[in-house]
Structure 1
């Protein structure tokens, strides 16, 4: 198994001249036998601190966050879309935000262009969950799927939740637009999406793992029988989620359930030394979990 960090550079149109800025993408690569996983930047989010940190013991939380050099009033987590290639399949785990969520995100197409991978080459899209930064990049400006040749895979419980007309009224006013946006996008693929359950092997060596709480049917994806785990938002940051995984986070729809899921998942990852890929973790998101004096720590690859 080999891990390495790389910097992807996308130049603007050559004809525009050398003085225009260039976009730098920080990513990482994980190689598992004949499988290569690259993380691609979809940009970053701009969130009020309370969206993640609200409801936690504030003094202890502030001390933890300060050790990571971060403010508590606003957070800008990165968005790491994972791309798996095994010689036969080109698999995306989530599709980013698209253009309709936040201007700082929705950059997946640019990152794919750097790797010279077209949307038409993607064979499968495996969703962790239906939040905007993971799902809203599904459709183009004509409401057609951005990845026309791909098979779409989502957990049955997650799909049912977002397609339930009652969700928009029960999810809370702050997230009502999440429900409307998810239902509109999922309706386009409703007749073709493959719905799976915990433990299903959706492709050779890729197994769905139910990790609920952040959303009701959130899935992580285990690759290669313990080779790596794409955790989505089951572990949502590299600071309080690791040091105090038992704390409920404002970003989770069911805080108590998400905390129990997070504790169990971190313990499994630390026990087995399994590499993990986190959607909102730094350095491209690939790393390992280590036990710390209090809680755990994220160690970048």
Structure 2
């Protein structure tokens, strides 16, 4: 994968999107700002960064094909190609405007990289963002970090990531140990994170990293993957990232190893425990790759789980 990327310039975006907004006005909102809710004093928007196009084997290769086939049929899925959405969460709380992940940028996937247009539909420009919190450092969550001057795209923001995740991707040995198919992930992550080395804040499992926002260790998809529990009084929401990475096999067969997880055994263990908790507590969730904006909740069935989307 070409690491000589030219990310969309913040300067060009601000100049160009102003004209689009003047012409289109609120007509942009249904397309980009596709889910909203209020959590106490928190205003939550789930906005789109587009979608990915992945070979089915990236997810399905470790799974038993005879048991997988009826699940694919049930959900009308191809075994060859998957096109998961990319849902980025924006939280506005008091004087803070917080992004959980920053999407792909323009160079990871042809149908991804729409985050800036989605934010513009809400009247949010990059300079408005006060905090960026990363679930993990895979390309579709991190590579939207820099503009084409290699400056942070959100110049007024503070940045936060789990310490375990940071240590893994910044380690120069990772590129040689991660495997050939993901070596470009390691190169891209190390380059981008290095740009934040003097300004990033680290956190660990269970810490309240912002008022009402607690980090939750959900390791397995990556070595230091984090989810985030947002809570205001009795109301709560879990931002999942990729620890529950789809609405089909992850719910129907959470115990199966997934090819998308860097540690499939740990990923399955994390997924099963979290699904059980979310179903028991009826906690709302936002999943980065879940359908219909990713907002919904987990329902326990007789022998598995299902994702109930909120439209």
> TM-score scaled by structure 1?
0.92
- Equivalent residue pairs, number: 289
Would the aligned equivalents of 2:252 and 2:306 in 1 still touch at CA under 8 Å? yes
Root-mean-square deviation over aligned CA pairs: 2.0
Would the aligned equivalents of 1:128 and 1:218 in 2 still touch at CA under 8 Å? yes
Cα shift at 1:99: 1.3
2:216 to 201, 209, 221: 209
Give the Cα separation in 1 of the matches to 2:22 and 2:202. 46
2:92 to 82, 85, 88: 85
Give the Cα separation in 1 of the matches to 2:88 and 2:22. 30
Tell me the residue number matched to 1:158: 165
Would the aligned equivalents of 2:132 and 2:157 in 1 still touch at CA under 8 Å? yes
Give the Cα separation in 1 of the matches to 2:95 and 2:23. 37
Would the aligned equivalents of 2:32 and 2:117 in 1 still touch at CA under 8 Å? no
Q: Does 1:139 align with 2:146?
A: yes
The gaps in structure 1 that reach 5 residues or longer are 1-9
Alignment CA distance shift 1:114-1:14 (3 Å): closer
Give the Cα separation in 2 of the matches to 1:139 and 1:23. 27
Give the Cα separation in 2 of the matches to 1:65 and 1:237. 12
Cα shift at 1:70: 1.3
State the Cα deviation string for residues 159-212 of structure 1 (Å, max 9, x = none): 000000000011000000000000000000011100110011110110111100
Tell me the residue number matched to 1:193: 200
SS at match of 1:27: strand
Would the aligned equivalents of 1:11 and 1:22 in 2 still touch at CA under 8 Å? no
SS at match of 1:99: coil
Tell me the residue number matched to 1:268: 277
1:221 to 196, 220, 228: 228
Runs of 4 or more off by more than 3 Å in structure 1? 10-17
State the Cα deviation string for residues 37-81 of structure 1 (Å, max 9, x = none): 111100000000000111101121121121111111000000000
Q: Does 1:258 align with 2:260?
A: no
The gaps in structure 2 that reach 5 residues or longer are 1-16
SS at match of 1:299: strand
Cα shift at 1:293: 2.1
Q: Does 1:71 align with 2:101?
A: no
Cα shift at 1:11: 11
Counting only pairs closer than 5 Å after superposition, residues 41-52 of structure 1 correspond to structure 2 as 41-52=48-59
Q: Which has the higher helix share?
A: 2
State the Cα deviation string for residues 133-163 of structure 1 (Å, max 9, x = none): 0000000011100000111000000000000
Alignment CA distance shift 1:14-1:236 (3 Å): closer
Tell me the residue number matched to 2:41: 34
Give the Cα separation in 2 of the matches to 1:27 and 1:16. 20
2:300 to 284, 291, 294: 291
Give the Cα separation in 2 of the matches to 1:147 and 1:14. 20
Give the Cα separation in 2 of the matches to 1:275 and 1:168. 36
